[in-house]
Structure 1
Amino acid sequence: MEKMEELKEYLKKIEYLASSIALLHWDSAINMPKDAVKYRSEMIGYLTGESYKLTTSEKMKAFIDYFSEIDGLDRLNKAIIENITREYNKVTKIPEAEYVQYEIDKTLAQNAWEEAKKKKDFSVFKPYLAKIIDYNKRFSEYWGFRDNKYDGLLDIYEPGMTTERLDAVFGELKEALVDLLQRIKRSNIKTDDAFLKGNYSAESQRKLGEIILGQMGYDYEKRGRIDVSEHPFTINFGNKDVRITTKYDTSDFRPAIFSMIHEGGHGIYEQNISDELEGTSLSVAASLGMHESQSRFYENILGKSMEFWNYFYPKFQETYKELEGVDLTSFYRAINCVEPSLIRIDADELTYSLHIIIRYEMEKLLINSDINIDDIPKLWNEKYKEYLGVEPEHDAEGVLQDIHWSCGDFGYFPTYALGNLYGAQFFNKMKDEIPDWRQQITCGDFAPITKWLNENVHQHGATLKPAELIKKITGEEPSAKYFIAYLNDKFGKLYDI
């Protein structure tokens, strides 16, 4: 136990560096002057180098060697050793200079992406993206993979997941989505959401968002905050400082409100990871897919339910004259309108996963060198035309719409769709244990649901792998069937199909 306490003190140093780097990234997105980007990238590079040294040191190897000989470790301590061993094996396979330069180049790439998006010009971002793709190809080779080079990257965000498994799950999901979408197109019920366009000040949206977030259980006053960024995100520095961002559109409150609910789901997860896990390397989510299960659950399963808006809609009507003559049923139909669109973060609940599948297919092709970087915009546009029947007019609403590739997050996008599947599977179990959930949400009482998620999902951090956590909660392996059933039930009723 003395040795374990010594290890935890060592891991805290790595945690402090990770939080410092994250804080610099947060400031880069929120406050940093444009001309500071080069120096900021060098700061991040330096701190990353220090983190690399601690993570790959002889002292860390000595800890791993020592505990590998110990039998009978309890569940928590065993998880700590498994996690640091996994991280050690991954990081030590990347040369230190390359690891540091990668962090520097990512910061430069993010700045180039912002400029390219504003100019609607992929060519501005292309040389930076080419570098990031090459890094990820090499990293996957360093780490090794069985059948598909993409597996090495996928495992970072969703431990244990493989391309083979994901192809099967996404194949089933894609077939179900396309079938449901075609039936909706043939439906006699046509939903119009045009009446929601109006004049909505950013300040009024922020105030309403704060009311919703507070009711949900995200503490934005003492343990969080809400800021504005080009792309909404959540970031944390321990469970007592979890920050979210959004982006306001004064002609339509939906993007900001639903992104706040989405990021609030992430924030609730982070704020409720057990204090016991601080300094263990496990005070993070079980996976990015598990993280997305929480954000997508709050945003869609709850946030776009009739029960949710039965409580919150009067507050919106009091704030916006545009809604005075719009009844709740019409509003509910409008926020759940199925309409294939170009922008992922604005996509409706049904078509959203098709946006993810497009990105997943693109990433596999890029990482396996089946296409080159010049093919990206054209292929992107072709896939949107084929899968969703829409085509971007320029790069900003096409291949440049997401920040993720500039951050090096190849393998991340699939977790959004996996989050949909996990969230629906949890919801199926939760309904059995909280049978009156509809009445509670209708009254604005989120506490029982958030408590259920705290106890079953959040508090465990990364002590369990995602598949293990799902099996522990639901008694089943991860499955697409609950999400497919949920969509068919919800949209079947909305469109009378």
Structure 2
Amino acid sequence: MNYLEALERFKKYVEDIKNISYAVNVMHWDGSTDAPKSSFPVRGESLGFFSTLEYEMFVTKQMDEDLNTLLENIDKLDDKESVMVHKARKEYDKLVKIPSDEIKEYQILTNRAQHSWEEARKKDDFSIFSPDLKEIIKTLRRFADYRGIKNHPYNIYLDDYEEGMTREKLDIFFDTLRKRIVPLLKGIMDSKKNIRDEFLSRDYPLDSQREAATELLEFMHFDLDRGLLKESTHPFTMGLNIDDVRLTSRYDKNNMISGMLSVAHEGGHALYEQNISRDLINTTLATGTSLGIHESQSRIYENNIFKSREFINFYFPKLQKRYPEQLKDVSEEEFYEAINNVKPSFIRVDADELTYSLHIMVRYEIEVALIEGSIEVDELPEYWNKKMEEYLGIVPPNNRLGVLQDVHWSHGLFGYFPTYALGSAYAAQFANKMEKDIKLKETLLKSDFKTPLEWLNKNVHQFGSLLTPDEISLKSTNELLNPNYFCEYLENKYSKIYNL
């Protein structure tokens, strides 16, 4: 077969899929923002139609033959074409190795599990959800067999979200965090430092918070002519393409900082999507390379920049001007300490910067144990509470605040949670290199937020998914992911705050 003909068909497929994906993403966006509730059934039918269409366009004998031909002539393709073909082959094999009837059954199972999880959480009754969770785990083990186990069945699912990541690498990663963050947390809890933060729950008008959110995005140099900020129950970012990047936040009149941190977090995601090289715009590579790298871009803005002393030095006077009554008796130092206060909490999404990764570590250890069969589903509530006490020093009073708090497992998203912790570690490593390259702290003190963005554009954003996470790390910091940067960042920051 002529490889040029195969390449032409493949590029036509890529063009068609991009058009379908745009339409599907717009429907998802509407469903999460402005669409009327009554539109759910019709939108669901449309999404189902496009999902089936994508599968039927991709999983064909012709596609299989074309991918084989292109791989045989891989040296004749340019870098973008080569990476796209390799990624397509990997996805194709993933889909065809699992019987289609079992995929359909699994979709039915996870749909049912979402409802049983909601009911279990509502009634604080784990037994309502456990039968479906048992079946999900059983199915994931079987799917891992179909796809070809690499050393450990969990590795299959880790690689789906973070290419190249393995259980073996994560064990070393989390062992480092465990040895350094757990003692640090204990030191903080034993310290006599009392941080004042009651002013964060004062009444902050919602309209003013919305104005401040837009202003913050402008400080970050997010291009609002190519992007959009709206509100949703759960904040998220959606990159439809480089010139159409949308994000949402949510606001609480008695929790102003939550809305600001949400905008900084989602704004980091959005800047990644908005600054991918235009050379990738007509490819499947014009998106983030992995969930971990994507999360690093949100974390670096939320934690390493927004919650830094240097940024607060710039931003707090503006907040005082916007909220003169609410912040009239608050100093810059008090505000800085308040937004960095460490308080172990039961709920992951409410966790502070230091304890968040410990929440992820609990979930990682549970997922590995469930997939390999070293613990049973019925043991989960007790096992969960044991790990929470071991790492965070607290025990949830019920399952709603414990093992039933996250929706992820009802969707079958095993291997997803670790990317949150990886993102924080990548962010600290990038920030460390930025300090060496552009003197990040001095740059922020000068109210220069363009230079940090340019560094990220050059070293991370522009490559989209053309490079792997390891390649991004090596290219930008000259080494692979090293969790010690994250630990050192936390130790230096919080030792000063808590006088340790």
The TM-score normalised by the length of structure 1 is 0.91
Structure 1 position 11 matched with structure 2 position 10: no
Q: What's the counterpart of residue 68 of structure 1?
A: 71
> Cα 1:102–1:73, aligned 2, differ >3 Å: closer, same or farther?
same
3-state SS in 1 of match to 2:254: coil
Q: Deviations over 1:67-97 (max 9, x none)?
A: 1222243322221221111111112112234
Q: What's the counterpart of residue 444 of structure 1?
A: 447
3-state SS in 1 of match to 2:153: coil
> Cα 1:148–1:271, aligned 2, differ >3 Å: closer, same or farther?
same
Q: Deviations over 1:43-66 (max 9, x none)?
A: 433322221222221222122122
Give ranges in structure 2 of 5+ residues lacking alignment: none
Deviates more, 1:198-207 or 1:208-217: 198-207
Structure 1 position 308 matched with structure 2 position 311: yes
> Cα 1:260–1:110, aligned 2, differ >3 Å: closer, same or farther?
farther
Q: 1:413-432, aligned counterparts within 5 Å? A: 413-432=417-436
* Residue type of the alignment partner of 1:244: L
- The sequence identity of aligned pairs, in percent, is 43
3-state SS in 2 of match to 1:364: helix
Instruction: Find the partner of 1:136 among 118, 135, 140.
Output: 140
Q: What's the counterpart of residue 465 of structure 2?
A: 462
Q: What's the counterpart of residue 386 of structure 2?
A: 382
Give the Cα–Cα distance (whole angstroms) in 2 for the partners of residues 33 and 105 of structure 1.
27
Checking the alignment, whether the CA contact within 8 Å between 1:228 and 1:245 is kept in structure 2 is: yes
Structure 1 position 58 matched with structure 2 position 68: no
Report the CA distance between 1:161 and its aligned residue: 0.8
Give the Cα–Cα distance (whole angstroms) in 1 for the partners of residues 39 and 135 of structure 2.
21
Q: What's the counterpart of residue 145 of structure 1?
A: 149
Q: Deviations over 1:147-173 (max 9, x none)?
A: 321111001011111101110111011
3-state SS in 2 of match to 1:235: strand
Structure 1 position 322 matched with structure 2 position 326: yes
Give the Cα–Cα distance (whole angstroms) in 2 for the partners of residues 90 and 219 of structure 1.
37
Q: What's the counterpart of residue 264 of structure 1?
A: 267
Give the Cα–Cα distance (whole angstroms) in 2 for the partners of residues 290 and 398 of structure 1.
28
Q: Deviations over 1:435-478 (max 9, x none)?
A: 2x334323432111111101110110111111111111111121
Checking the alignment, whether the CA contact within 8 Å between 1:270 and 1:458 is kept in structure 2 is: yes
Checking the alignment, whether the CA contact within 8 Å between 1:424 and 1:483 is kept in structure 2 is: yes
Give the Cα–Cα distance (whole angstroms) in 2 for the partners of residues 332 and 441 of structure 1.
15
Give the Cα–Cα distance (whole angstroms) in 2 for the partners of residues 248 and 33 of structure 1.
21
Q: 1:207-356, aligned counterparts within 5 Å? A: 207-220=211-224, 222-229=226-233, 231-320=234-323, 321-356=325-360
3-state SS in 2 of match to 1:237: strand
Q: What's the counterpart of residue 186 of structure 1?
A: 190
> Cα 1:246–1:190, aligned 2, differ >3 Å: closer, same or farther?
same
Checking the alignment, whether the CA contact within 8 Å between 1:48 and 1:103 is kept in structure 2 is: no
Give ranges in structure 1 of 5+ residues lacking alignment: none
Report the CA distance between 1:409 and its aligned residue: 2.0
Give the Cα–Cα distance (whole angstroms) in 1 for the partners of residues 41 and 376 of structure 2.
28
Give the Cα–Cα distance (whole angstroms) in 2 for the partners of residues 173 and 363 of structure 1.
18
Q: Tell me the number of residue pairs that the alignment of Structure 1 and Structure 2 aligns.
A: 495
3-state SS in 2 of match to 1:399: coil
Report the CA distance between 1:400 and its aligned residue: 3.5
> Cα 1:285–1:384, aligned 2, differ >3 Å: closer, same or farther?
same
Q: What's the counterpart of residue 479 of structure 2?
A: 476
Deviates more, 1:91-100 or 1:446-455: 91-100
Give the Cα–Cα distance (whole angstroms) in 2 for the partners of residues 111 and 295 of structure 1.
30
Report the CA distance between 1:351 and its aligned residue: 1.0
Give the Cα–Cα distance (whole angstroms) in 1 for the partners of residues 274 and 108 of structure 2.
29
Report the CA distance between 1:247 and its aligned residue: 3.1
Give the Cα–Cα distance (whole angstroms) in 2 for the partners of residues 38 and 369 of structure 1.
38
The TM-score normalised by the length of structure 2 is 0.91
> Cα 1:312–1:183, aligned 2, differ >3 Å: closer, same or farther?
same
